[in-house]
Chain A
Amino acid sequence: MKKEKRVKEKIKKTAKGKRNEVLLDDSSSKFCLFTDTLGEAQKRMLSSFLDDVNRHLALPKHDTGLMIGDFRNAICYLSSQGVPFEDILTRLSPVNLGGFYARPPVLWFSLDDAAKIYPLSMKQGQMAVFRLSVYLDALVMPEVLQLALDFTIKRFPSFATTLKKGVFWHYLDTSKRRYQVEQESSIPCRPLPVYRSGSQSFRVICYLNKISVEFFHVLTDGNGGLVFIKTLVGEYLRIMGENFAYEDGVLDVNQTPDSKELMNCFHRTDAKVTESSFFDRSAVQLSGKLSKYRPYRVLHIMMNASDLMQKATSLSCTVTAYVLALMFLAGKYATDDIDGISCIQVPVNMRKFYSSVTVRNFAMYCGIRIKLSDITDLPSTVSLVSQQLEKRSSRSMMDMMMNETGRLVNMLRFVPLAIKSPVAKVLYGFAGDSAFSNTLSNLGVVHLPQELQRHVKSMDFVLGTALTNRASCALVTVGNIATLSISKMTSDPSFEEKLCEMLREQGIEISVEGSSESWR
């Protein structure tokens, strides 16, 4: 009777304010039952362990309670998996919390040049969010993932921030809090509620065997996001008992962050030429009514990477050029326009030109523009795409664009945000993405330490909503699976149907997965 009362009291205490919690409701009762199975010596060890955890936390009472709950949940889970008690305490050592949660927030970060436009142009229900997902070989345990996130976030100080308004620009202010793992919802890449005090600009989601992270673009680009998710997955697997070397972009969470990782690298070019322009003629759009809820649907076309590589090599082009050519052909099929120019936006990772370890935005983009009448068959389209891709994604062109970005930022630096913001909204509303028909962002082949690679089945990379483009595509390859993800903004399925048909015709083995249709 007494025990029951104690359990109920603990549940009541833990349940207070537990909104949106992934953790199980009966976590406290589980922990009480678990402690009852321990011997006196182990109980003392556990008590001293939890005291040590408490010493590492100087958060508001609510967050401290939740974080102690995270430790309890992870201990219960690992114990239920037969992990020896001492081993559990070693894996979950509070040393992994570092001083992050014990110190007051002092750091702040001005937005990098590419990030400055995102908060200026966002609207209700419209935000530049992208998602990276890793599919593991076993179900993801939310209690362990939460603790992995608690340990990982300190390694990424520019992610442990909240968006703020300055007089001239927005900026990121450090926010010391418990960053929370969420449940998957039906529609990926939903806008993040960045308006709240201390709100986070990314979300970690788990669903079955998938760990996903959705980032607001102010924080990072695809490559920076990749480092974060790889490190998070690495930490998750470490807690689960895997040992591996910190290499291939998996960071040691207990290492002090390097200032180079937090750098705004957009001022590194020496070139002075600025001929590039952000405004271009409107491109042909895929047909179909724009959905009110975006993305309307997300599809993942999983392809055999060797087949894809082989096909590209046989046409003497890169995988990016090959997929772009297929997208141009599918795009022509999916539009009612007869003439005009089709244009696909291709983000370019500037890290390939400038050695950089920054986890912030460091990407520019180029547009591959082809007349609809010139899009006839695959070989000729591949040839047109390859020529343009080589020229337009070259270092000199990217330098020009980087200069232009810097020039624009410099020009607007003393214009108050109150003026910049509405003007940017109007300009972005008019010009927006109408200069492009579609987007293809290729993250390339993702390398992981061998021990982690064994647990990772595949990955996907999803781009968020566009204004007028009916589709946005992103490609990522892990092992022998290349996943092309399409974020659709319309219910018209002709683009993806044609793309799949062509891939099959080309002899590439594919399988299609995705979300159900959203409301129109």
Chain B
Amino acid sequence: MEMKIVYPDKGEHRYSRKDVIFVMKWPFMALGLASVIVNICTKGTAWSVIAVWSLWMAWSSVFSTSMVEYNRISQAIKIITDSCILLVMINLVFGLDWMAFVVPIVCFGGLIVAGSLFFTDIQRQKQNAMPFLALLVACLLISILGLSLKSNWPFIVLCAVSASLLVSVAIIMGREFPVEFKRRFHSN
């Protein structure tokens, strides 16, 4: 069939993220499956849960990243949240007793990182405020819950830092603060 080409030349072939995902999903799935099978065969503690979660963390942070609102704050928060879940898993699976001490410290570190990212570029990062607000609220709730169960200095610090950051963000955003909630929680 005779056809006139009216588009530019296709140029050199470049590998896209889709190609990388297509190639990498097999080793990731194989590793996950292998760890579960080995864990079942060897019995003992359920360490494969930690292995599978770690693989998921690597997969979702490096390869299959979010397709909407993929920015430095949302990524930082995702890594902090995933890391905290991983720490809780390690603690529970191996029957350790440092969760109430380590997790709030990691959360505190995360707040400092996310806060720095937010406050160093306020004008632009206002658009990405919601993930940061969600982290602040989550940290505040965790610390209040933690303090009601076991009073230690990491929870006190986390509670103070998250509360003060929350107030600061609310002041900076002003009237946009309730509007942001309205947008994010709309259901129509």
Q: Footprint of B on A, CB under 8 Å?
A: 60, 106, 108, 110, 119, 122-125, 162-171, 173, 175, 184-188, 194-198, 207-208, 210, 292, 298-300, 413-414, 493, 496-497, 500, 511-519
Apart from A167-B185, A195-B68, 4 more pairs, CB < 8 Å: A108-B183, A122-B67, A124-B17, A186-B7
In this complex, what residue of A is CB-closest to B10?
A186
Docked CA distance A175–B2 (Å) = 44
With A125-B17, A166-B184, A169-B186: A207-B1 Cβ-Cβ less than 8 Å: no
The A interface, classified by DSSP as helix, strand, loop or mixed, is loop
B21 within 8 A of A: yes
Contact indicator A207/B70 (Cβ below 8 Å): no
A-B contact pairs, 27 of them (CB 8 A): A108-B183, A110-B186, A110-B188, A123-B67, A124-B16, A124-B17, A163-B69, A164-B183, A165-B69, A166-B184, A166-B186, A168-B186, A173-B183, A186-B8, A186-B10, A187-B7, A187-B10, A188-B7, A195-B69, A197-B124, A210-B6, A300-B6, A512-B4, A516-B5, A516-B10, A517-B10, A519-B10
Contact indicator A125/B6 (Cβ below 8 Å): no
Chain A residues with CB below 8 A from B62, complex form? none
Chain B residues with CB below 8 A from A175, complex form? 127
With A125-B18, A185-B8, A513-B3: A414-B187 Cβ-Cβ less than 8 Å: yes
Q: Which 6 interchain pairs have the tightest Cβ spacing?
A: A125-B18, A186-B10, A195-B70, A515-B7, A413-B187, A513-B6
Contact of B7 among A119, A124, A514, A519 (CB under 8 A): A514
Chain A residues with CB below 8 A from B187, complex form? 168-169, 413-414
Contact indicator B185/A168 (Cβ below 8 Å): yes
Contact indicator B6/A119 (Cβ below 8 Å): no
Chain B residues with CB below 8 A from A413, complex form? 187-188
Q: How far is the CB of B73 from chain A (nearest CB, A)?
A: 9
Docked CA distance A188–B8 (Å) = 10
Docked CA distance A515–B124 (Å) = 39
Docked CA distance A122–B18 (Å) = 12
B116 within 8 A of A: no
Contact indicator A194/B68 (Cβ below 8 Å): yes
Contact indicator A124/B124 (Cβ below 8 Å): no
B97 within 8 A of A: no
The B interface, classified by DSSP as helix, strand, loop or mixed, is loop
Chain B residues with CB below 8 A from A198, complex form? 124, 127
Contact of A197 among B21, B64, B71 (CB under 8 A): B71
Contact indicator B183/A298 (Cβ below 8 Å): no
Q: Footprint of A on B, CB under 8 Å?
A: 1-11, 13, 16-19, 21-22, 64-71, 123-124, 127-128, 179, 183-188
With A125-B17, A168-B186: A195-B6 Cβ-Cβ less than 8 Å: no
Q: B17, B65, B68 — which one has the most chain A CB atoms within 10 A of its CB?
A: B68
Q: How far is the CB of A20 from chain B (nearest CB, A)?
A: 15
Contact indicator A184/B7 (Cβ below 8 Å): yes
Chain A residues with CB below 8 A from B17, complex form? 124-125
Contact indicator A60/B69 (Cβ below 8 Å): no
Contact indicator B71/A196 (Cβ below 8 Å): yes
Q: How far is the CB of B19 from chain A (nearest CB, A)?
A: 8
Docked CA distance A93–B8 (Å) = 34
Docked CA distance A207–B185 (Å) = 42
Chain A residues with CB below 8 A from B71, complex form? 196-197
Docked CA distance A210–B68 (Å) = 30
Q: How far is the CB of A66 from chain B (nearest CB, A)?
A: 16
Chain A residues with CB below 8 A from B70, complex form? 195-196
With A167-B185, A169-B186, A186-B7: A60-B123 Cβ-Cβ less than 8 Å: yes
In this complex, what residue of B is CB-closest to A511?
B4
In this complex, what residue of A is CB-closest to B14?
A519
Chain A residues with CB below 8 A from B7, complex form? 184, 186-188, 207, 298, 514-516
Docked CA distance A207–B8 (Å) = 8
Q: How far is the CB of A348 from chain B (nearest CB, A)?
A: 24
Docked CA distance A496–B3 (Å) = 11
Q: How far is the CB of A168 from chain B (nearest CB, A)?
A: 5
Contact indicator B10/A518 (Cβ below 8 Å): yes
Chain B residues with CB below 8 A from A106, complex form? 179
Docked CA distance A175–B179 (Å) = 16
Q: How far is the CB of A152 from chain B (nearest CB, A)?
A: 23
Q: How far is the CB of A200 from chain B (nearest CB, A)?
A: 13
Chain A residues with CB below 8 A from B2, complex form? 512
Docked CA distance A492–B18 (Å) = 23
Contact indicator A195/B67 (Cβ below 8 Å): yes
In this complex, what residue of A is CB-closest to B17?
A124
Docked CA distance A518–B9 (Å) = 10
Chain B residues with CB below 8 A from A170, complex form? 68
Chain B residues with CB below 8 A from A119, complex form? 67-68
Contact indicator B1/A497 (Cβ below 8 Å): yes
With A186-B10, A512-B4: A125-B67 Cβ-Cβ less than 8 Å: no
